[in-house]
Structure 1
Amino acid sequence: MDNDKVVRVLVVEESLNEAETLNSVLRNAGYAVRPAHAADLEGVAEALEQRPPDLVLCAADLGEPALADVCRAVAASGHRIPVIAVADDYDEARVVEALEAGAADYVGRGHAEHLCLVVARELENVRQRRAHARCEQAWRESEKRCAALLESSRDAIAYVHEGMHIHANPAYLEMFGFTDLEELEGVPILDMVAPSDHERFKEFLRAFSRGEAEGDELELQGLKPDGSTFPARMTFAPATYEGEPCTQILIRRQTSEAELEKKLKYLSKQDLLTGLFNRQYFLEELEEEVNAVLGGGSPGAVLCIEVDNFKAVKESVGIAGSDLVLSDVATLIRQAVSEEDVPARFGDHVFVVLARGRGAEEAKALGERIRQLVEEHISDVGGQSVATTASVGIALVTEHTPSAQEVLGHAELAAEVARTAGGNRVHLHNPVTDEQAGRERDAYWQERLERALAEGGEGLRLVFQPIVSLHGDAGEKYEALLRMIDEDTGELVPPAHFLPSARRAGLMGRVDRWVVSRAIDIVAERKRQGHDTVLFVKLSADSVADPEFLPWLAERLKQARVQGDSLVFEVAESEAVTRLKETKQLAKGLKELHCGFTLDHFGSGLNSFHLLKHLPADYLKIDGSFIHNLAGSQENQQAVKSIADMAQSMGRLTIAEYVEDANSLAILWQCGVNYIQGHFLQEPDESLSFDFGAETVA
């Protein structure tokens, strides 16, 4: 989730419904709202103390607490939190009064667009203040961190001023046979170099001090006090020590280790088939690029390059032969880009390029060069000549780019526009014209889904991701996830491509029934094979509101002779709040069928645990925004711990999804979370072959 869109909001309002209405306005604007509510000054003080919000929305027409009192309470908390006054009536006198009371702005209750603009402005101010504070803190802590790193570094590091040592770390002292720093202070650096390298060393230092050295490294023979020598590679860098300018010298004694480390670091970023960067590294670089541009850096662009008619290529020369074609395309892309660009393989036959510092025309020129190179190239695959073309989509990275995911989505949409227009062309994303392409894409997916459902699910697939216990339960639990098969490539298409179209077309109820029916068949087959498998299945709002769903489910379970406890149904917390009556009926019916019930995205609402008084949920799936950056966010850790503790006291089990690293796993175990799910364990797969016994954390 985009952290810039996560916002903690305190609404000071007598009516909980009015508070939720304001939160809904922000959610509809794309914010992931973490809400809190206060009806009096005591509630305001408690909210400010427990978890300071990013902003406060205060009803200005309340009798108590008065807007001025709320503003004073916020100021007294020591946090610079903007207070936005909201009221039914809007006139100049009330605006002036609110601003004088300390409010950042005044908004009419019915003016949702005005509220969103004010919120966006104030959140940007908050972000900038926090960034400034972080910079100051980082500056204050930098010397402490550098000193600690210097002392603990395995590399030998020294600081030299006018040819004399002024400081060195323990590794440097050990390398040259000194026992104490005082022995080294004032010793010329030249005494650490073998006499045969003296002249070369002095020439390099003179050139380095004038900024004329070729590179910053020098390989020579180091000299110990006992006269023995050893091969050393010195790396020089300008530095300061205790406020004085000097030169930092880093010495690596074993060059083979350094080369191996460099090679391993490169391989972790590399796609092994093509030699380009891999998907993960590209996403990291794109995230940094977007942040840099937002911070005032030069704009750039993202190119999405899709090989046309790749299915035909694969059918013609086979999988191994098509891999050779992809390698050729990757080589052509590498030839076209500059050293500053980041070319990567993003999917089976999709490549991306982060083109740094390029505007629209330069990006289009690069896209056209890549397109032309691919068109003119002929691959030799086992004596067979293979020619292909490419569709190139371009999206610009500017100061108005909200997130890395959005600019990547625009580039993918632009590539789709180029492909559907016949391929072998370059298309720059245009929000106006591409909107029509979006409507056409909806129509395409709607037709695909309706055809697939009419043909008994032809073209639909389920993939499975394990849900693993952190506390010794070795039972088989998977979440069943829907995919479609791309008609051109045979690849599995993720649901983000087609489910939004399904929702807009009113097809989600039928899609849910296909998924549930297929899950029941799979559970029945697993049972016959001797496996006690439990599948978690998501339900849409359409199924929650469908009075015929429960009778259909009961009949389907009866037909397959499957016990209800083999299925656990998930409903998003936001849907449960919106359709509380229907969700209560669904949960009650599922319990009668002995099926499990899960609240998904738990913790994202205004009062999540209050919802459990109405819904007998067996599992709570913690909202993914709390799991993102868990290791680096104390706030997220506290939120997860709070949810886990409260769930345990109420007899509910917790699941943390989107777990991507070992650090998060360890924290979740310490927090008392019951189950985990995510790519760290296994990416979704068509097989149900996960070894629960080996991976369960007891």
Structure 2
Amino acid sequence: MLDKAHPEATRFRAKQVEILYEQSHVGQAASIVAALILIAVFWTVTPHRTLAGWAFFFTLVTVLRVGLAHRYARSPDHSKQVGEWLAWFMTGIGISGATWGSAVIFLVPNGSLVHTGFAALWICGLSAGAIATFSIIKGAFFAFSLPALLPSALYLIISGDMKEATVGGAQLMFLGFISLSAVRMHKTLVQSLTLQFENARLVDHLDTEKKKVEKLNEQLEKKVLKRTAELAQANANLQRDIIKRQRAEQALFAEKELLQITLHSIGDGVITTNAEGIVEYLNPVAEKLTGWSCDKARGLPLATVFRVIDEQTREPIADPIAQCLKEGGAIEIANHSVVISRNGQEYAIQDSAAPISSRTGEVLGVVLVFSDVTEARHMTRQITHQATHDSLTGLVNRREFEHRLERVLATLKAESAEYALCYFDLDRFKVINDTCGHVAGDELLRQVSEVLRGQIRKRDTLARLGGDEFGVLLEHCSLKQAQRVATAIHKAIEDFQFTWEGKSFRIGVSIGLVPITKASMGIAVVLKAADTACYAAKNKGRNRIHVYHETDKELASHRGEVQWMTRIHRALKENYFQVYFQPIIPLATEKEEKCYEVFLRLEDGAGGVVLPGAFLPTAERYNLAVKIDRWMIANTFTWLAQNPEPLRTCFINLSGHSLRNKTFLAFIIEQLEKTPIPSIQICFEITEAAATANLSCTIRFIKSLKSHGCKFSLDDFGSSLSSFAYLKNLPVDFLKIDGLFVKDILDDPIDLAIVRSINEIGQIMKKQTIAEWVEKEEVLEKLREIGVNYAQGYWINPPQPLTEMKSPQKR
């Protein structure tokens, strides 16, 4: 234990008291358990009033001790009033010890040695447990054990009974033994606590010393940095002095050395000569490109060391030294220069030469600077080739072909010569490409290109213009010679056999041949003429040659179709199409449903409209019918959404191309979903011919849209001999009787019988019938008499713009 004069003595004492209070909870808990057991043992032998009085007093003491411990725990500063807290604690455990000691005196029945021995043993056990709990302060243990053991031992000794006196003597002996144990435990605990305090004090001391050392290190580091900066500054000053001295002593030498190093390190070749063109110096790059070392080249004429020719003509290039001296300034040598090394290797170069003059202007010599551009020139040629040639076949591409054609047309303005152009398209290429795949198609094009190369002259241009289209520009070639070349090409392709994965294929070629003369109006005109001639060859049955003549009927027809194609594209792009409608009226008075059909019209630019018969054939030939149907559906649906007609059904015509188009069905469904119109008001109209062209495809198409609520009408019914044979398989809602039978039913009994038969079959199959081309009132009445459900025609109402729709009136 620390000396009382020691500065830590008070804190040491406070720690001992703190340990006492912390361990008191365990002792109190054990004491309560022991009291309960003691009460249970004596319950049957001790008067209950006495036992209850002892239990009450024990509980009161225990509660007070617990309250004291709780108050101590909540105290903000335990180090103050240590003596007072210790006194209260000692008082509490003294009373507690006395309470336990009184149990032997008051609770044990007279003459019961067993209960006397149990009570004495129980109190001895509690006193032994107090060694661990209270030994941190020696007096605390004795404050509990002496009141607990001494009075009861004396009581038993003086009781007069030998056996009880023996128990009392045993208690005194036990008190002596545990007192010695408590003293030793006290010493051990005090030494341990003292050691803790010493360790803590040592750690604090070490922290203090560490901070002192760190501060000394920081000060030392600052001094080192300061000294280092001073030394660096002194060193820098010394270096500047050395540099100044070296520059002053070796100015001329340093300048020459710098020049030598520069010439050795640059990536360009450098050769210097005197005014007579005699070599004086070569840098390493020049040595490599010329094959001459500086030592061996020195003193030789420049022409011997630096052999330069034109890359294209292979002619020597003029002496650059003489040229430079003559012009008196820097010159550049031709772009296509090639230097020939001493070992025969060639390098593409770009170079320049400049005179070396003195301060007085006297020419001392010439410096020649040149760089190796072999790789760059090769890359340029490669890029140029890629820009002008087709990557698949290696042939000239369309851009280069047009450039050469433009050059030919320019040549014709200055000279009289004959040229021709072959434009040809491979027949059946698409079949092979679709059947065997694009890899096979590409291989076919490569092999065909090799076949074509063998049929043309070297001065002619063979090009791949796109897909399976090729062109040959025949220079200085008459039309008769061009026909022979075209015939040779035709025969070579016809004889060519393509093999792929064990299968053999033959193809054909449709060739359009165009003579090029001074009258040719430009590239676009020539290419269009060639394309037109190729089309004519295809139109005549493919695999043939067609020579272009402006008076050809086939070409004139093609030009007309091309013009219509252009107009259709423009109409789709700029919305020049219009939607017209014609009412379809019910013939039975009880019918309330009203219908109308929408038609397509094209503005003619002069305030009129063009009927579909003028442009739809061209649209179908050039695969534009699907685009027109898309336009018609989108615009009609938009108008219907803006002008709802709840009691009318709208008939919209579809082409056969649309029925076979893979994406068209999805387009219609998308339009139905995004446009807020009832699908039951839409009836798609298809012709009998289109429906029977691919019956299974048509049935799938109809069923898919009928599942969305749409209706279908079969147009021109009766025009085919097989009409009734397939009608039962087509799930249509309306039959439109072909107008060719309707218009003459008043005069032709056969037409009347056909109309009556179609109507009867339709009624049996629960399909509504519609008669077209009703142009007289008498015809209308006859149709009503037959029982036809609906009628449509010019007498009822001619087609009008959809924007002018009003409630149709029956006439």
- What TM-score do the two structures reach when normalised by structure 1? 0.36
- What TM-score do the two structures reach when normalised by structure 2? 0.31
The structure having more radius of gyration, on CA atoms, is: 2
- Which one has a larger percent helix, Structure 1 or Structure 2? 2
Indicate the structure whose relative CO is greater, using CA pairs within 8 Å and at least 6 residues apart: 1
